[in-house]
Structure 1
Amino acid sequence: MAEKYPVLQDAVPFFFEGSDIGVLVQHGFTGTPQSMRFLGESLAEAGFTVYGPRLKGHGTHYEDMEMTTYEDWIASAEEGYRKLQNSCRQVFVVGLSMGGTIALHLAQQHPEIGGIMLINAAIRVENFEALRNETARYLDAIGSDIKAPGVAELAYDKTPVASVKEFLIFKDLVASRLSSVTCPALVLVSREDHVVPPADSNYILEHIGSQLKEKVVLENSYHVATLDNDKELIARQCAAFINEIYQSKVKP
């Protein structure tokens, strides 16, 4: 189904051409590529080819999101992955929140992925479980959980309950297959997060099948860490991780 509303000005996808190492930069639930643009620009400055797609139903109006399914969101990410795969020798995936859930899904479906970088990724989100039986149509917004003053995430001001229920189905599906994730993984987690419990990141680390997995604790950011006080640290860690993995593969 086509979206009824126009894409917001700062919600458009971004693409930066660079080397033959590609990075898919994936935003989260109710968010937009705006939340990932600083990270995308930083990775492009590090020399990589970077694409930040917009998930269907996001970045327009919450009524559009209400009409989409988790299969639509996966399809948007898959399209972005193929775009990079067509022009790059190796593709890495970084995702915030549900973008991290999507990164895990892509790693399950595409074992050739070079590595994944998960920022406050959602996989259990036990604080959302009660919403399985929610009867209201909309809830309050969940965006802009940011510690830095004066910084805002471009996200919906209402959250469709139908979309929350789609997300719950999706995260359960991904969680049931965590052991099939075998690519290198960098897990970045805020010590304080008011949307996704930090315990989700520990759960991911414990259950993925990756031999190489690293954890970085973000001491000075809340959930939308890519716009928060640790955004430069995240960019440095992601670039270093990609370079480390890629160089280890090309060594004789």
Structure 2
Amino acid sequence: MKSGQKSLFDRHTAWQRFKLRYFGAKPWSGPGQVGPDQAPPALPNATFFHAGGKAAVLLIHGLTGTPTEMRFLGKTLAEAGFTVYGCQLAGHCGTEEDLVRTHWPDWYASVEQAYAEVRKKHDIVFVAGLSMGSLLSMHLAANHPGEIKGLGLLSTTLRYDGWAIPRLSFLLPLFLHTPLGLRYRFVENYPYGIKDDRLRQRVVANMTSGNSAEAGNLGMTGHSLRQLLSLVELVKREMPAIDTPAMIIHASNDDVCSIWNARYIESHLGGTRELLLLDDSYHMVTVDKQRKEVGRALASFFAARTDPQALVRDHVTAS
């Protein structure tokens, strides 16, 4: 190899190393595709229901996610005697174009609608959410003071600062306020929030095959991220006034959002709170290696705030 060629090769590999260190493997993959202004198609219905006792739990999935990521938790809570409802957020379980058509108030409207239906049947209601679903849970509690008996805040995402997030992610809010940033498509990085190798392979296979109703979307446009950040700022302002008891569950080694997020909630919520840190999970704590521990802890937390008679199964059926 000639010296000039070697120098060029060295410069190229150095640049690749720089990109991986500061921008990640695939922080974005090009312009997002925004569909035409037309009525969105019908999305798959991935909601679920488990009959149980008089006390109910509403479960809320995360951004680009699906109710499927809450199903195991739902079964665990149902086995503990709760009636469980898994809701589906607007624009989710379809394509990225479906998601782009929605804004955070649309996602929250899905939660309000689901909560209203649950309240028709149950006087005792708990709410738990994963990642952005945790934010929506807190916003729901802020809008219904004194009604919700307890919150489960799982892997709450206030900022993307986990170890798998690109080093320059702190510039994301500025980038999203540009026309280019709004249309760029951001793609998840390895390990995709899952420490369990076998489960990760199955989830990634579903995402890459387009099975979003089962595994969610692999990426999202800047539009959706900007909506998330707007919701974060609102919920931060609401936290001191939220006096609903809360259990905060977070992985110590979360690859998406660091333990800082859990500590922030712990110090800013207005009500009583408990913090559980997991040592063998990543971001998706409801499906990862310690999913059973998450379910047991949340069931215990909710049960302690429930009349034992309310956990007696009464064969509630879906309307």
**TM above 0.5:** yes
Higher relative contact order at CA 8 Å, sep ≥6: structure 1 or structure 2?
2
**Cross-structure match for 1:147:** 195
Q: Report how far residue 2 of structure 1 moved.
A: 4.6
Other structure's SS at 1:118 match: strand
**Cross-structure match for 2:73:** 39
Matches within 5 A, 1:118-197: 118-125=153-160, 129-132=170-173, 133-134=175-176, 135-136=180-181, 137=183, 138-141=185-188, 144-152=192-200, 153=203, 154-197=215-258
CA–CA separation in structure 1 for the residues paired with 2:233 and 2:125: 25
Q: Report how far residue 60 of structure 1 moved.
A: 0.7
CA–CA separation in structure 2 for the residues paired with 1:130 and 1:31: 24
CA–CA separation in structure 1 for the residues paired with 2:259 and 2:41: 36
CA–CA separation in structure 2 for the residues paired with 1:213 and 1:231: 20
Identity of aligned residues (%): 34
Q: Report how far residue 4 of structure 1 moved.
A: 2.7
CA–CA separation in structure 1 for the residues paired with 2:292 and 2:233: 32
Q: Does residue 1:213 correspond to 2:279, yes or no?
A: no
Output the amino acid matched with 2:171.
A
Q: Report how far residue 109 of structure 1 moved.
A: 0.8
CA–CA separation in structure 1 for the residues paired with 2:192 and 2:114: 25
What TM-score does the superposition give when structure 1 sets the normalisation length?
A: 0.91
Residue of structure 2 aligned with 1:94, choices 125, 128, 133: 128
CA–CA separation in structure 1 for the residues paired with 2:216 and 2:57: 23
Residue of structure 1 aligned with 2:291, choices 221, 228, 231: 231
1:71-111 residue CA offsets vs partner (Å, 9 max, x unmatched)? 00000111111111110111100111001111111111112
CA–CA separation in structure 2 for the residues paired with 1:122 and 1:87: 31
**Corresponding pairs, count:** 246
Q: Does residue 1:4 correspond to 2:47, yes or no?
A: no
CA–CA separation in structure 1 for the residues paired with 2:275 and 2:237: 21
| RMSD, aligned α-carbons | 2.0
Output the amino acid matched with 1:239.
A
Greater radius of gyration (CA)? 2
Q: Report how far residue 218 of structure 1 moved.
A: 0.8
Q: Report how far residue 125 of structure 1 moved.
A: 3.9
1:162-210 residue CA offsets vs partner (Å, 9 max, x unmatched)? 0000111011011111101101110001011121222111100100100
Other structure's SS at 2:121 match: coil
Contact 1:123–1:204 (CA under 8 A) maintained in structure 2 = no
CA–CA separation in structure 2 for the residues paired with 1:213 and 1:83: 27
Q: Report how far residue 146 of structure 1 moved.
A: 0.3
* Residue segments in structure 2 that go unaligned for 5+ positions in a row: 1-37, 204-214, 311-319
Stretch deviating more after TM superposition (127-136 or 11-20) = 127-136
Contact 1:124–1:175 (CA under 8 A) maintained in structure 2 = no
CA–CA separation in structure 2 for the residues paired with 1:99 and 1:129: 22
**Cross-structure match for 2:56:** 22
* Residue segments in structure 1 that go unaligned for 5+ positions in a row: none
CA–CA separation in structure 1 for the residues paired with 2:172 and 2:260: 19
Output the amino acid matched with 1:84.
V
Contact 2:252–2:258 (CA under 8 A) maintained in structure 1 = no
Contact 1:125–1:200 (CA under 8 A) maintained in structure 2 = no
User: Structure 1 residues 73 and 157, CA, compared in 2 at 3 Å: closer, same or farther?
Assistant: same
Stretch deviating more after TM superposition (153-162 or 175-184) = 153-162
Output the amino acid matched with 2:253.
E
Other structure's SS at 1:23 match: strand
Residue of structure 1 aligned with 2:141, choices 107, 128, 136: 107
Q: Does residue 1:54 correspond to 2:88, yes or no?
A: yes
Residue of structure 1 aligned with 2:260, choices 199, 212, 216: 199
Contact 1:144–1:155 (CA under 8 A) maintained in structure 2 = no
Other structure's SS at 1:144 match: coil
Contact 1:141–1:156 (CA under 8 A) maintained in structure 2 = no
Q: Report how far residue 129 of structure 1 moved.
A: 4.8
CA–CA separation in structure 2 for the residues paired with 1:29 and 1:15: 21
Stretch deviating more after TM superposition (105-114 or 139-148) = 139-148
